[in-house]
Amino acid sequence: MIKLADVSYVRLGTRDLEGATHFATEYLGLDVAERAKGSVYFKSDAREHTLCYFEGDPGDQVVCFEVEEQSHLDEAATQLESLGHPVRRGTASEAALRKVHDFIAFRDPTGNPIELAWRPAYSGRRYHGARDAGITGFSHVGLCSSDLARDEAFWTKVTNAQVSDRIGDAPLLRIDEVHHTIALFPSPKAGIQHINHQVETGDDIMRSHQFLKDRQVRMVFGPGRHPTSSAKFLYFEGPEGMVFEYSSGVREIADELLWRERQFMFEPKGFCKWGAKPNITEFNK
């Protein structure tokens, strides 16, 4: 079993690195950690970076999870290969680009590019966003799934992920006490469906809603409150259609023995208990 210790970073290709950088700093509220040739790294918390935009195809979207031991990379590679997932070992220069000591890359059953990294760099410099969005850190990703039951089985049998709740057949998966770190999302194509940053308070959500709306950023869902994690939320569209979520007040599952996964309806009330309606294609099927 592959023990995922945390979600580490996402890497997104972009055709407009300057535009993406402007959005990430001035709108989303991240901090530039480093500008390199053809890429910009962003901080959202104590880590060296949690997002990297690089010049390339916007369809190139990678999510990375941290593992605790280097040996876990070898064990994971053996297990994944035996299950028919080809694994690539990152080179030293690729690891340096990711600011990790070592990593492997593979695809989940839907075809989402996944990396597992050992010793991602933490930063000696405090995160403070250019815009005060109240961000406390990068927290979870929504991953597209072309077969929810198959992908739930992959994440829960091959890794330590566990189902916290389901909305329809879409599971919210936890790897630690946080309600979810991976949200599987029904979609015929592979990709990252959304990128979540936690913010400090519900006021931060409402302030950002006003701020982003005033600047014609497309609102995708909310403000609202998830019945599942009980977090207040806002989803909006970033560069090249990527959806970003702020949420505040995500539930923690302190005592796993007392927690039973719950079933919510795959309809607006399953996603928001305030009555907000998602403007997301996959929801409206």
Give the binding site for Fe ion (CB under 5 A). Answer: 196, 245
| Closest to Fe ion by CB, 190 or 220 | 220
Q: What is the dihedral of CA 157, 267, 204, 62, to 10 degrees?
A: 40
Q: DSSP label at 90?
A: P
Q: What is the DSSP string of 99-141?
A: T-SEEEEEE-TT--EEEEEESPPB-SS----SS---EEEEEEE
| Closest to Fe ion by CB, 105 or 184 | 184
Q: Which partner in Fe ion, ligand LTTKRYJ7, none is near 185 (CB below 5 to 8 A by kind)?
A: ligand LTTKRYJ7
- Minimum separation from the CB atom of position 164 to ligand LTTKRYJ7 (A): 8
- Minimum separation from the CB atom of position 228 to Fe ion (A): 9
- Minimum separation from the CB atom of position 196 to Fe ion (A): 4
Q: Which partner in Fe ion, ligand LTTKRYJ7, none is near 129 (CB below 5 to 8 A by kind)?
A: none
Residue 251 gets the label, from left (phi > 0), alpha (psi -120 to 50) or beta, of beta
Q: What is the DSSP string of 160-205?
A: S-EEEEEETTEEEEESSSBS-SEEEEE-SS-SEEEEEEEES-HHHH
Binding-site string for ligand LTTKRYJ7 from residue 219 to residue 248, where x marks contact by CB under 6 A and - marks none: -------x-xx-x-------------x-x-
- In whole angstroms, what separates CA 194 from the centre of its chain? 6
- Minimum separation from the CB atom of position 140 to ligand LTTKRYJ7 (A): 6
Instruction: Tell me which residues in 161-190 interact with ligand LTTKRYJ7 (CB under 6 A).
Output: 167, 172, 183, 185
Separation CA 19–CA 228 (nearest Å): 34
Instruction: Tell me which residues in 123-162 interact with ligand LTTKRYJ7 (CB under 6 A).
Output: 142
Instruction: Scan for tokens 């990152």, then name that residue.
Output: 90
Number of helical H runs and strand E runs in the chain: 6, 17
Binding site for ligand LTTKRYJ7 (CB under 6 A): 142, 167, 172, 183, 185, 194, 196, 226, 228-229, 231, 245, 247, 250, 271
